[in-house]
Amino acid sequence: MKDKFISLIKTSKKISVITGAGISAESGVPTFRGENGLWRSYRPEDLATPEAFTRDPKLVWEWYNWRRELISNCTPNSAHLFISYLESLIPEFLLITQNVDGLHKRGGSRNIIEIHGSIWDIKCSKCLYLSENRDLPIIYPPLCPQCQNILRPGVVWFGESLDYRKLEESVNFIATSDLLIVIGTSGIVQPVASLPFQGKQINKKLKIIEINPTSTPITNISDLFIKEPSAKFLSDLKIFS
Ligand code: NAD
Ligand code: ZN
């Protein structure tokens, strides 16, 4: 397994990586659909929506304050570190993460698209104001310095569209890569879930490696499926040593 993984990497000049919540699980950040996914018995799908924020912004901010506090106590794991190490080895490299926790950047990744935004950003619910904010906690209600309307987390919620430029850049990079590595995503949150399929459709030579303890729709089109927790598999894995 490790041999095939290493050989696919060694024969690639251009690599894309897609990550989801699972890569941060071993850092202690709960996934949405795994154990500890619930907060005060609410499902994330019922809190991470524009409708939930309109209905009860205080409740949504309490949940985000809880998540920000939790994430601030977590550190990047071997899988985050492996990805930034890989970036330093490969001439053309792009990381597309669905995660909002900022652990990839803390782990040293630079060429990165945070396609669902960042939990460390806040933005206005009415105007275009957006700013980094690391306060713990955010005092309710946070108000926009430009228009005085309520500020919201700088993330993309269920039902909201992604920045199409980021999506287009991701598709183009993946479709011209030799290898795509998909780590820790359930492969059901669109449109990111479609990226591996689009990549393979455009470029038949694209190889796909998936790392996830559970199979997903992406497993069907993977050339190598590593059915393991990502930090465990990637710990101490040196490609060129
Ligand atoms: P998900 O919660 O739907 O699925 C998590 C996936 O990770 C599952 O397939 C699971 O089998 C896998 N997984 C669990 N433990 C793993 C491990 N140790 N190693 C590798 N894989 C493991 O997450 P999603 O597909 O990313 O979609 C949910 C949405 O919510 C995304 O936008 C996601 O980024 C966001 N979210 C982000 C965070 C974060 O920033 N850390 C946390 C929760 C949810
Ligand atoms: Zn505003």
Please write down the HEC assignment for all residues of the chain.
Answer: CHHHHHHHHHCCCEEEEEECHHHHHHHCCCCCCCCCCCECCECHHHCCCHHHHHHCHHHHHHHHHHHHHHHHCCCCCHHHHHHHHHHHHCCEEEEEECCCCCHHHHCCCCCEEECCEEEEEEEECCCCCEEECCCCCCCCCCECCCCCCEEEEEECCCCCCCCHHHHHHHHHHHHCCCEEEEECCCCCCCCHHHHHHHHHHHCCCCEEEEECCCCCHHHHHCCEEECCCHHHHHCCCCCCC
For position 241, what pLDDT does the model report? 53
Whether 230 lines ligand 1, by a CB cut-off of 6 Å, is: yes
Residue 99 sits in the same domain as residue 211: yes
Residue 204 sits in the same domain as residue 170: yes
Ligand 1 pocket: which of 19, 27, 29, 32 to mutate (most atoms within 8 A of CB)? 32
Whether 98 lines ligand 1, by a CB cut-off of 6 Å, is: yes
Q: Give the whole-angstrom CA distance, residue 100 versus residue 182.
A: 17
Q: Is the pLDDT of residue 237 over 80?
A: no
For position 41, what pLDDT does the model report? 84
Average pLDDT, the chain: 95
Give domain status of residue 176, yes or no: yes
Beta bridge partners of 224: 209
Residue 136 sits in the same domain as residue 167: no
**pLDDT tens-digit map of 88-118:** 999 999 999 999 999 999 999 999 999 999 9
Chain centroid to CA 62: 22
Ligand 1 pocket: which of 26, 106, 185 to mutate (most atoms within 8 A of CB)? 185
Give domain status of residue 240, yes or no: no
For position 35, what pLDDT does the model report? 75
Contacts for 116 with CB less than 8 Å, ≥ 6 apart: 97, 98, 99, 100, 155, 156, 162
Residue 226 sits in the same domain as residue 169: yes
**pLDDT tens-digit map of 178-216:** 999 999 999 999 999 999 999 999 999 999 999 999 999
Give domain status of residue 60, yes or no: yes
pLDDT band for 240, please (50, 70, 90 cuts).
low
**pLDDT tens-digit map of 157-179:** 999 999 999 999 999 999 999 99
- Give the Å distances, CA to CA, from 160 to 15, 49, 168, 183: 28, 8, 17, 23
Residue 181 sits in the same domain as residue 224: yes
Q: What CATH number did the domain enclosing 209 receive?
A: 3.40.50.1220
Give domain status of residue 14, yes or no: yes
Residue 45 sits in the same domain as residue 59: yes
Q: What CATH number did the domain enclosing 57 receive?
A: 3.30.1600.10
Which of 15-24, 125-134, 231-240 is the least confident region? 231-240
What is the number of domains present in the chain? 2
Give domain status of residue 239, yes or no: no
Residue 147 sits in the same domain as residue 167: no
| CB contact at 8 A, 137 and 169 | no
**pLDDT tens-digit map of 25-51:** 999 999 988 777 788 888 998 999 999
Percent of the chain with pLDDT over 90: 90
Residue 63 sits in the same domain as residue 171: no
Residue 146 sits in the same domain as residue 56: yes
Residue 62 sits in the same domain as residue 92: no
User: pTM of the predicted model, to two decimals?
Assistant: 0.96
Q: Which structure tokens are listed for 238?
A: 């040196």
Residue 178 sits in the same domain as residue 189: yes
Percent of the chain with pLDDT over 70: 98
For position 33, what pLDDT does the model report? 81
Residue 100 sits in the same domain as residue 206: yes
For position 1, what pLDDT does the model report? 84
Whether 70 lines ligand 1, by a CB cut-off of 6 Å, is: no
Q: Which structure tokens are listed for 188?
A: 């059901």
Which of 155, 175, 210 represents a domain boundary (last residue)? 155
Q: What are the catalytic residues? A: 116
Which range of residues forms the domain containing residue 42?
34-73+124-155
Whether 184 lines ligand 1, by a CB cut-off of 6 Å, is: yes
